[in-house]
Amino acid sequence: MDQVMDQVTNQVLGQSSSQASAITIQNLNHYFGNGDLKKQVLYDINLIIQAGEIVLLTGPSGSGKTTLLTLLGGLRSAHEGSLKILGQEMCGASKEQLLKTRCNIGYIFQAHNLLSFLTARQNVRLSLELHDHYTDAECDRLVDEMLTAVGLGERLDYYPEQLSGGQKQRVAIARALVSSPKIVLADEPTAALDRKSGRDVVEILQRLAKERDCTILLVTHDNRILDIADRLLYMEDGRLVKDKTE
Amino acid sequence: MPKKTPLSWLLLVRQKSRLIVATAGIAFADILMFMQLGFQSGLYDAAIKPHRNLDADLILINPQFRTLFSVKSFQRERLYQARALPEVKEVSSIYINTGQWRNPETRESRAILVWGVEPGKPSFKLPEVEQQLSQITLLKTVLFDQAGRPEYGTVADWLARSPQGLEVELSDRLLNVSGTFTLGASFAADGNTIVSDSTFLHLFPDRSASNIEVGLIQLQPGSDPVVMQQKLSAFLPKDVRVLTVEEFANVEKQYWAEGTGIGFIFGLGAIMGFIVGIVIVYQILYSDVSDHLSEFATMKAMGYSNAFLVRVLITEALILAVIGFLPSMVLAMGLYQITYSATLLPIFMQVDRAITVFVLTVAMCSASSVIAMQKLYQADPADIF
Ligand SMILES: Nc1ncnc2c1ncn2[C@@H]1O[C@H](COP(=O)(O)OP(=O)(O)OP(=O)(O)O)[C@@H](O)[C@H]1O
Ligand SMILES: [Mg+2]
């Protein structure tokens, strides 16, 4: 019963506020485990991110940042509250809906997670092949343009093992952005990089996002990159405690 | 729609050593299956080769006749009774017994199958035999099967050097070899000889002329053997059995398949090959999935479904099936040739066997990929974030 009620309220609330926003979160709670072991990790999260905004999320280890990101990305299903991505309610969504949402979101992981048996080109192309509406020629062009845009025009056919950490992360950015997703989620994308290449990577990310009017939510511990943000969020013990622009 | 990157293929070719191990493993399993199935059918084929070469439309035997290895006889009278039906054109009788052949060089004795035929009438469809039948009308002459075991001696060579004939000892009687033919060794006999009915009775004095082992029935042109088989069965007393040539061959085949462990042994061998194959392919696919677990999870996070990844895995297995099968077929053909030269067993690559083994290979690889799939479901994108 509760859940049904929640969903009804959510629908009403969602309609009023989500039109221009890329992400709308209302009263989101999340738990891990069941029964006695049930443990709440997210408490009453409320957040609206406008389209085109670059938002950085920081907070101590274990505060729930990754959990929030996996919920947003459809990697976990949300159960309590409302969570809307591009107008699609993710709370209680079916597996197919989650999968569809995943296709329209770009991901950048802490580890580059490139497919080791594919070249940079093939890795990037993989995210275009999820969409049926591209032609073969379009794919080739978009992939090469994207890799050139992240500064890897000379290394199109390199395998991940032949690239440095920063270069790999740039391929990952190209992969996340090539299909022009409206939202990119990034979890500590610079954590494995040295200061210089970390800085390069976020600057490329920022530039490309602005060019494409792409919304970014980026989790980081790295204080040196906070300046790229339009807005900073701070999370502690599963709560959003501070929204620095408000 | 964009062309899809051939992930399964790239996964394989980017890991050369794994590909080689997989190919070798599957080829090994396939060769095992090829050899077992080949031996089995080679042994059966050898066992029924004489039956298949009988020149007859229908066969008459004792209902207890199971194998050439221990023959049963029936009254020749029955064959003559069959002639009463107008559709029966001609009948001929064949005596069969095991004799002792003495190698003229080493003087060693060895059992050999002796076929006593009526020289003026149809017996074997082998052209060599048909051409030389007139020669054995002469008492104490014999045709020798040059495809038998080498222990009988190089009869064909000796014969070529002495055109007037070669004297040999068969069941303690002296006979003259007038020519050779080609039939081959089998379970029942290491070799064959063909003599006339009179020579046969001379060789085995305790055999009576009125009891024969196999009756051959030739039908008038245009009569249906199956209809005639029923008609004859109804017409003749129940102490004989009427069979088509193929059924007669099957009686022999069944004897060796069921009465002995042969079918079981070779069947088991083939199953072993199959299981070895599953284990090998499973190992390969499982470690492939484990090694790339985070990459597969990434693909799921990007929006690829479980079903898509399962297809990648199955495709990989099928590619392996083809890559492993082809060399195994070539190698098996070589091994068949070697086996044939060493044992004279008629063992050759056959299309239906190749298809069987290929289907088994595909089944083997699919089964392995289904087991390895379980691992794929563990690739949870929520864990790699
Ligand atoms: N699969 C899980 N099952 C149970 N508890 C989990 C699971 N994943 C995370 N948690 C718990 O949820 C809480 C939040 O974890 P989360 O990974 O979201 O933190 P985080 O803010 O990303 O931390 P970090 O900065 O170290 O990455 C932690 O207490 C963690 O132990
Ligand atoms: Mg985290």
pLDDT, residue A9, reads 43
Which structure tokens are listed for B73? Answer: 């006889």
Is ligand 1 within 6 A of the CB of residue A65? yes
Q: Which amino acid is at B142?
A: V
Count CA atoms closer than 13 A to B369's CA, side-chain side: 21
Pocket test for ligand 1, best of A28, A31, A32, A218 (most atoms within 8 A of CB): A32
Q: What is the average pLDDT value for chain A, to the nearest integer?
A: 87
Chain A with chain B: Cβ pairs closer than 8 A: 84
* Contact criterion met (CB < 8 Å) for A135 and B2: yes
> Best substitution site from A65, A75, A217 to test ligand 1's pocket, by max atoms within 8 Å of Cβ?
A65
For ligand 1, say whether the CB of A31 is within 6 Å of any of its atoms.
Answer: no
Interface test with A, best of B302, B304, B380 (most A CBs within 10 A): B302
Query: Atom of ligand 1 at shortest distance to CA of A60?
Result: 25
Chain A residues lying within 8 Å of B305, measured CB to CB:
99
Q: What protein residues have CB closer than 5 angstroms to ion ligand 2? A: A 66
Q: Which residues touch B169 (CB under 8 Å, ≥6 apart)?
A: B101, B102, B104, B175
DSSP secondary structure letters along B157-179: HHHHH-TT-EEEEETTEEEEEEE
Whether residues A114 and B305 touch (CB distance < 8 A) is answered with no
Nearest CA in chain A to B379: A75
Q: Which DSSP category does A18 fall into?
A: -
Verify whether ligand 1 is closer than 6 Å to residue A192 (CB atom): no
pLDDT of residue A243: 60
Cα–Cα distance, B325 to B28 (Å, whole number): 9
Q: What's the rounded Cα separation, in Å, for the pair A33 and B50?
A: 75
* Burial class of residue A183, CB neighbours in 10 A (0-12, 13-18, 19+): buried
Q: How confident is the model at residue B385 (pLDDT cuts 50, 70, 90)?
A: low
pLDDT at A246 over 50: no
**Is the CB of B384 less than 8 angstroms away from the CB of A111?**
yes
Alpha-carbon gap: B22 to the closest alpha carbon of chain A (Å) = 17
Percent of chain A at pLDDT exceeding 70 = 90
B99 has pLDDT over 50: yes
**Regarding beta strands B141-145 and B173-181, do their DSSP bridges make them parallel or antiparallel, or are they unpaired?**
parallel
In this complex, do B303 and A103 lie within 8 Å of one another by their Cβ atoms? yes
Q: Which H or E run contains B180?
A: strand B173-181
| Whole-structure pTM value | 0.79
Minimal CA separation from B383 to chain A, in Å:
9
pLDDT at site A116 = 94
Q: Does B5 sit within 8 Å of A125, measured CB to CB?
A: yes
Residue A16 banded pLDDT, cuts 50, 70, 90: very low
Residue A89 CA, chain-centre distance (Å), reads: 16
- Inter-chain contact A103–B298, Cβ cutoff 8 Å? no
Please report which helix (H) or strand (E) contains residue A40, including its range: strand A39-50
Q: How far is the CA of A111 from the centre of ligand 2 (A)?
A: 12
Tens of pLDDT, residues A75-118: 988 889 999 998 889 998 888 888 888 988 999 988 878 999 99
Taking CA–CA distances from B13, the nearest residue in chain A reads A117
Chain B residue with Cα closest to A141: B2
